[in-house]
Each structure stands twice: as structure tokens, then as C-alpha cells.
Chains A and B, each alone.
Chain A
Amino acid sequence: GDSVTQMEGPVTLSEEAFLTINCTYTATGYPSLFWYVQYPGEGLQLLLKATKADDKGSNKGFEATYRKETTSFHLEKGSVQVSDSAVYFCAPGRGSQGNLIFGKGTKLSVKP
């Protein structure tokens, strides 16, 4: 069945470091792909998305490219800030309704 594998955390970085969180998935067809972020004490919110192969989603300095050949959607940011400390979830859609499958989440802590 459909599944998603996300880099396990926790990840601890210093401010201004480069961030990569790996995400690969198995799915039927070419689903839309999403990254959600959960800040402490809050619900999830959409960070970025890509709807077809080679699309690049971007928001708040984060980027992820839809790689059909490797079925991957890795999240990157060139220079992280303390305010980026949160849990990040990779979530491909599945089926005709596009309901989401969530990865287990990667907790990021950024130290000043």
C-alpha cells in the first residue's frame, strides 16, 4: 500500500546551518506532495506543496522538489533560524480523494 518514509529525528542545528529532511514515498500514480509544520503547542499548518513532477514548492525560505524518478520530496533550507524549531511532516496524497498519509515527523531544534 501507499507509504511514506521520513528522516528520523531529532535534528539539532545551530542557527544559520543548512537543513535537509529526507522524505521518500510509495504511491499509486503521481500524488500531490505536502510538507506540514507543527510549532510547539499548535496544530499542523501547511508549509509548502507540489502538485506534479519537477514542481518546486517554497515558503519561508524552505524548498522541496517533486522528484518522480526517485519518489522523493526532500525539504531544505539554506539558513535555519531559532524560530524554525518545530516538527516537520512529509505527507503525500493517496487515492482518488487525495487523503494524506503522514510521515512520523522530524523534530528540529535550532540553537542560537
Chain B
Amino acid sequence: DVKVTQSSRYLVKRTGEKVFLECVQDMDHENMFWYRQDPGLGLRLIYFSYDVKMKEKGDIPEGYSVSREKKERFSLILESASTNQTSMYLCASRRQGATYYEQYFGPGTRLTVT
């Protein structure tokens, strides 16, 4: 069974802290994605990675960075957390190739910044 796992389901951090969200997939997928999900806004793409050490900005990259040192792992970094980054964060992976390949999602990390 394919699987995308995220390091935490719930996380509470203080304003100004550096926050790491980890995502691991076991499907040998080349592409990985980070989204944030907010009520009334749907999912918005923060960053994506086509392969190891490659990254591209999505629609809302400000305040975030990413790291992909190994194929199976994609990390989202909040350099200095702020209250407006309180959200649900979803990671996804996808096989490289046809645009009709589906994305597989992790269960999400609900981050609260106080």
C-alpha cells in the first residue's frame, strides 16, 4: 500500500521559532509537493520538487523554504514562524511522467503558531 507520512499530526510553536515539517514517501516518486490548506481558500501550493536537490516555488512561497536531500524525503522549513502561518500543511508525492498521474497525500500536520 502506497504511503506518504508526515512527522507530526499536531504541532504548536511560538512566534519566531524555526519550524521543520517532514514528509516521507515510500513509492520512489520523483515529484513531491507542499501545500497549505485554509478554510475558504482550499489548497495552495507552497513549493514543489521534481527530483532530489531540485525545488521550485509554488503560489505562496514567502516565509517558507524547502529541502530535498534524499528522494524519499521533502522538508518544509518556516525560518521564523508567524501567527499567519497557522494552518494545515499537506505533503504529496507523484510519479514523474504523464500529467494524469495522481498525487498521493499525507494525513497533514496542523500547525498552530502562538
A and B physically associate: yes
Residue pair B48, A89 in contact (C-beta under 8 Å): no
The residues in A between 15 and 54 inclusive whose CB is less than 8 angstroms from any CB of B are: 31-32, 34, 36, 41-46, 49, 51
Residue pair A34, B4 in contact (C-beta under 8 Å): no
Number of B residues with CB within 8 Å of any CB on chain A: 25
Binding site for A on B (CB under 8 A): 4, 31, 33, 35, 40-45, 48, 50, 58, 90, 92, 98-103, 105-108
6 A-B contact pairs sorted by A residue (CB < 8 Å): A36-B105, A45-B105, A98-B101, A99-B58, A103-B42, A104-B41
Whole-angstrom CA separation of A100 from B102 in the bound complex: 10
Contacts of B48 in A (CB 8 A): 99
Whole-angstrom CA separation of A49 from B50 in the bound complex: 22
Residue pair A97, B50 in contact (C-beta under 8 Å): yes
Binding site for B on A (CB under 8 A): 6, 31-32, 34, 36, 41-46, 49, 51, 89, 93, 96-100, 102-105
Nearest CB of chain A from residue B100's CB, rounded to whole Å: 4
Residue pair B50, A43 in contact (C-beta under 8 Å): no
Q: A89-B43, A104-B40 are in contact. Are A46 and B50 (CB under 8 A)?
A: no
Nearest CB of chain B from residue A71's CB, rounded to whole Å: 17
Residue pair B107, A43 in contact (C-beta under 8 Å): yes
Q: A44-B90, A99-B48, A103-B42 are in contact. Are A93 and B99 (CB under 8 A)?
A: yes
Residue pair A49, B105 in contact (C-beta under 8 Å): no
Contacts of A105 in B (CB 8 A): 42
Whole-angstrom CA separation of A99 from B45 in the bound complex: 9
